[in-house]
Structure 1
Amino acid sequence: MTLTAAVQDTMDNGNSDLRQQVRQRLQEQGIEFILAQFVDIHGAPKVKQVPVNCFEGLIDEGAGFAGGAVWGLGQGPESHDLMARTDLATYCRLPWRPNVAIASCDLYVDDEPWPYCARNNLKRMMGIFAAEGYALNGGFEPEHFLVMRRPDGGLMPWDPQGIDKLAKPCYDFKGMCQAMDYLQDIIRYGNQMGFDIYQSDHEDANGQYEINFGWSDALTSADRLTLFRMMAGQVATKYGAICTFMAKPFQNRTGSGAHLHFHVADVLNRRNLFPLKKGEKDRKGLGISKTAVHYVGGLLKHIRAITAVASPTVNCYRRIQSGEFVYSTASGYTWTPAYASYGDNNRTQLFRCPDSNRFEDRSPSGMVNPYLLLATHMAAGLDGIKNEIDPGEAILRENVWNLSHEERRKRGMILLPQNLMEAIEALEEDEVVKSGLGPIADEYIRLKKAEWSEFMRQVTPWEVSRYLTML
């Protein structure tokens, strides 16, 4: 038997063993139905509900979908079926629906992996990254609002006791206690599904909350964020609230991000490659290695194109403020970087280094498709490592927001795109970031241009108020 055949035989045996373990677990848990789940180009989850006795078929053949009915999957009504095949490693029971299990799926067409599937694409980029000796690990911090509809159809923060009114409500005891049952459900359910949630809090805006996940590989982190959003939306209804990950639902309140803590590891031994090696010179004053410096260099070089993926909707750019004019929220801060910088442990940086073992990317919006973001991260970061891109001097112990715009520009800080079309144009011109998306790039650009065009046809109340009687 050849080495390749022996490895394949081992994999097949492993899959057979895992299949038996999952089958037994489903039986022991009393599972009656399985949700076969994947995401569209926006990151919105799509599912089919399948009786548990069809478990084998979900793995071998998959659940069939009409791809033209889903955004951004490169299909029309004439296309052959998308077959969503479940990943055995992702099966888990839904704690709030204990007779239902869910599994993440990879999409196939005519028995071949479908390249427009965001999960397949991320696995493709992980393979490219691994071939260079690297693995990307990380964890998201999904900020979100609990809101309610006013009688006139507008939004207001969920505030059943009428106490979440502070101008600076972040970490507020009363505000958090009001949502304690919701947050405890989220943590309890999330950890039953293996999320390793280690804390939660009331965030900077009224009605806004954040959950912190543990570390994992890129694929698991993307799966977790997707499932978390599904869970939070269902749990919120129990308390009469709507859970929204919309980046900026309120004009005068802080927006919602999905901050990503990340590091690059050795693909073979999983050792974190970001801290300085013994005897290596600390070139940036952050205790980080050459690998970390160049990875961040790649991210900064390509940040304008990455922003098109990190902030994927028109509304996301309400969150990214250039600060050219006086602007604030009720709390006094937006907490969102508009200029691309990196440096030490302060939250005015785009890439914050809380410790030498990781960076935090503070740019992603709460609306981000995590599969696409992580794929572009690896493409840009790998470009940085291979070409030894220098990110410039780190910002140490300085408030970037207090620097003048001229000073920021002198230091080489790039202004992030200020609207969706500007970001999409940057993506169009960036072959490295587009390579991280594969064929999804063209579909993404097409759909986002259409979204911008539709938005530009809208006439808002602000425009009517400002211009109706100006002349």
Structure 2
Amino acid sequence: MTSGNITDTEQAVLDEIEEQDVDFLRLQFTDILGTVKNVSVPARQAEKAFTEGIYFDGSSIEGFVRIQESDMRLKPDPDTFAVLPWRQKEESAAARMICDVYDTSTGEPFEGDPRRVLKNALDRADEMGYTVNAAPEPEFFLFEEDEDGRATTKTNDAGGYFDLAPKDLASDVRRDIIYGLEEMGFEIEASHHEVAEGQHEINFTYDDALATADNVGTFRTVVRAIAAQHDLHATFMPKPIPRINGSGMHTHLSLFTEDGENAFHDEDDEFNLSDEAHAFTAGILEHAPAITAIANPTVNSYKRLVPGYEAPVYVAWSDRNRSALIRKPAARTPAASRVELRSPDPSCNAYLALAAMIHAGLDGIENDLECPDPVRENIYEFDEEKREEYGIDTLPSNLGEAVEALEEDEVIYDALGDHVAPKFVEAKEQEFEDYLVDVSDWELDRYLETF
């Protein structure tokens, strides 16, 4: 039974709010730079949020609107309702819903909302007869806090890839994080210690691209909150410690047809990849430099994207090794056929990054781009001459180069939309300029007493 203009799904949320004794709702959205924001309202406002939306000042959010265009409206997506696991032991609970942002002056979805940017990409895929599935693998570091509760870069373990306790002292933290994620609806496939000390990975299952982008934001929030309960600081910074492996967010992608078949699978192909999969891969390779600005959006991202630390910097694909930008993972079933883009890192705005990848791949299909042959050798061992022989380019070496590539690539720039693209470029150009005029500790240590 529903009331007024409330849908069945919304009514189910209202019923659960009452059953779970939820007293506050966090209405979440994401700014252009990927920071999760929230407006907290009493749970009794939930029905109003569904029917009328909740108004907020958009001028206070990075890259949203100017002060004279400040009124925005949040419309919660009832499918994203979840009770926050770290609040359930209190007398009452808190819950969250992820929202779409609307422009109050037009009543239309706000084109500066990153979630809308991804929805536009998915609409394009739908017009071509596809749905998009994605699965990211965000890695993170756990660091100890100092006596004042501030983050350090001291790890609390000495573990390595797939190590067990006692070296992997954070296994209990990962367990609690997994429990928290499962309480919020995640289906966890695996978790393990990563290559570097203090580095971890928790993999969750494939989902449609919109739910996946929502999940990335939730994942980061849960990991940080539960790590803090253990007096640890979780960071998704790509390269917090020099000269060791950084944190990536390898992203698996596939397209499905309207009848539920995996459009990327072809049993007769040498690599079990369809013509669409090859063209999609070619599209990502074609637009890889511009995608890098979005998938690797910080100055620090490029401290990870250097040869020698297992990060993919070479624009090629492979069915055998991990030195290429794109890998074709082994698939046990036709439904699992997919491609894996290995360059993104977890500092990115997942909505924008997925939108860029999808538009690039669809551009490859629409223009029937020819996919190069896979590179089955270890590209890390190639010298410059051999890379030229194979026609292998490298990704941008810094944020400035990546932003220039984005501005020159009409497909990816347009994928962000008329509002987000210039705001994103402006913010990233300013970030890179600030970096260029700063003086690092490395420079002081190396030059201050020498010259």
Aligned match of 2:334: none
Establish whether residue 80 from structure 1 lines up as the match of residue 70 from structure 2.
yes
Is the 8 Å Cα contact of residues 84 and 94 (structure 2) preserved in structure 1? yes
Aligned match of 1:95: 85
Establish whether residue 435 from structure 1 lines up as the match of residue 414 from structure 2.
yes
Establish whether residue 320 from structure 1 lines up as the match of residue 305 from structure 2.
yes
Aligned match of 2:326: 351
Q: Residue 238 and residue 151 in structure 1: after superposition, are their counterparts in 2 closer, same or farther (change >3 A)?
A: closer
Aligned match of 2:403: 424
Is the 8 Å Cα contact of residues 352 and 362 (structure 1) preserved in structure 2? yes
Aligned match of 1:38: 29
1:253-298 Cα shifts (integer Å, max 9, x gaps)? 21011111111111x2232111105xx5x2xx31211010000000
SS of the residue 1:368 aligns to: coil
Q: For residue 222 of structure 1, what is the amino acid of its counterpart? A: A
Q: Structure 2, unaligned stretches of length 5 or more?
A: 332-336
Aligned match of 2:101: 107
Shift of 1:409: 2.3
Distance 2:382 2:5 in 1: 56
Aligned match of 1:261: 252
SS of the residue 1:141 aligns to: strand
Aligned match of 2:286: 301
Q: For residue 274 of structure 1, what is the amino acid of its counterpart? A: F
Is the 8 Å Cα contact of residues 406 and 413 (structure 2) preserved in structure 1? yes
Q: For residue 375 of structure 1, what is the amino acid of its counterpart? A: A
Q: Residue 177 and residue 165 in structure 1: after superposition, are their counterparts in 2 closer, same or farther (change >3 A)?
A: closer
Distance 2:405 2:166 in 1: 40
Q: For residue 325 of structure 2, what is the amino acid of its counterpart? A: L
Aligned match of 2:158: 165
TM-score normalised to the size of structure 2? 0.93
Q: Residue 392 and residue 232 in structure 1: after superposition, are their counterparts in 2 closer, same or farther (change >3 A)?
A: same
Q: For residue 294 of structure 1, what is the amino acid of its counterpart? A: A
Match of 1:156 among 138, 153, 172: 153
Establish whether residue 342 from structure 1 lines up as the match of residue 343 from structure 2.
no
Q: For residue 360 of structure 1, what is the amino acid of its counterpart? A: E
SS of the residue 2:187 aligns to: coil
Aligned match of 1:275: 265
Shift of 1:62: 2.2
Establish whether residue 363 from structure 1 lines up as the match of residue 359 from structure 2.
no
1:312-331 Cα shifts (integer Å, max 9, x gaps)? 0000000001x4xxxx5xxx
Q: Residue 14 and residue 77 in structure 1: after superposition, are their counterparts in 2 closer, same or farther (change >3 A)?
A: closer
Q: Percent identity?
A: 36
C-alpha RMSD of matched pairs (Å): 2.0
Distance 1:413 1:339 in 2: 6
Aligned match of 1:467: 447
Q: Give the total of aligned pairs.
A: 436
Shift of 1:50: 1.0
Distance 2:434 2:249 in 1: 26
Establish whether residue 290 from structure 1 lines up as the match of residue 275 from structure 2.
yes
SS of the residue 1:198 aligns to: strand
Tell me whether 131-140 or 347-356 shows the greater mean CA deviation: 347-356
Is the 8 Å Cα contact of residues 80 and 109 (structure 1) preserved in structure 2? no
SS of the residue 1:262 aligns to: strand
Distance 2:184 2:215 in 1: 9
Shift of 1:13: 11
Q: Residue 170 and residue 264 in structure 1: after superposition, are their counterparts in 2 closer, same or farther (change >3 A)?
A: same
Q: For residue 239 of structure 1, what is the amino acid of its counterpart? A: H
SS of the residue 1:426 aligns to: helix
Establish whether residue 195 from structure 1 lines up as the match of residue 175 from structure 2.
no
Q: Residue 13 and residue 287 in structure 1: after superposition, are their counterparts in 2 closer, same or farther (change >3 A)?
A: farther
Is the 8 Å Cα contact of residues 280 and 364 (structure 2) preserved in structure 1? yes
Distance 1:62 1:181 in 2: 40
SS of the residue 2:67 aligns to: coil
Is the 8 Å Cα contact of residues 139 and 249 (structure 2) preserved in structure 1? yes
Q: Residue 16 and residue 141 in structure 1: after superposition, are their counterparts in 2 closer, same or farther (change >3 A)?
A: same
Aligned match of 1:387: 367
Shift of 1:470: 4.9
Is the 8 Å Cα contact of residues 137 and 218 (structure 1) preserved in structure 2? yes
Q: Structure 1, unaligned stretches of length 5 or more?
A: 1-11, 329-333
TM-score normalised to the size of structure 1? 0.89
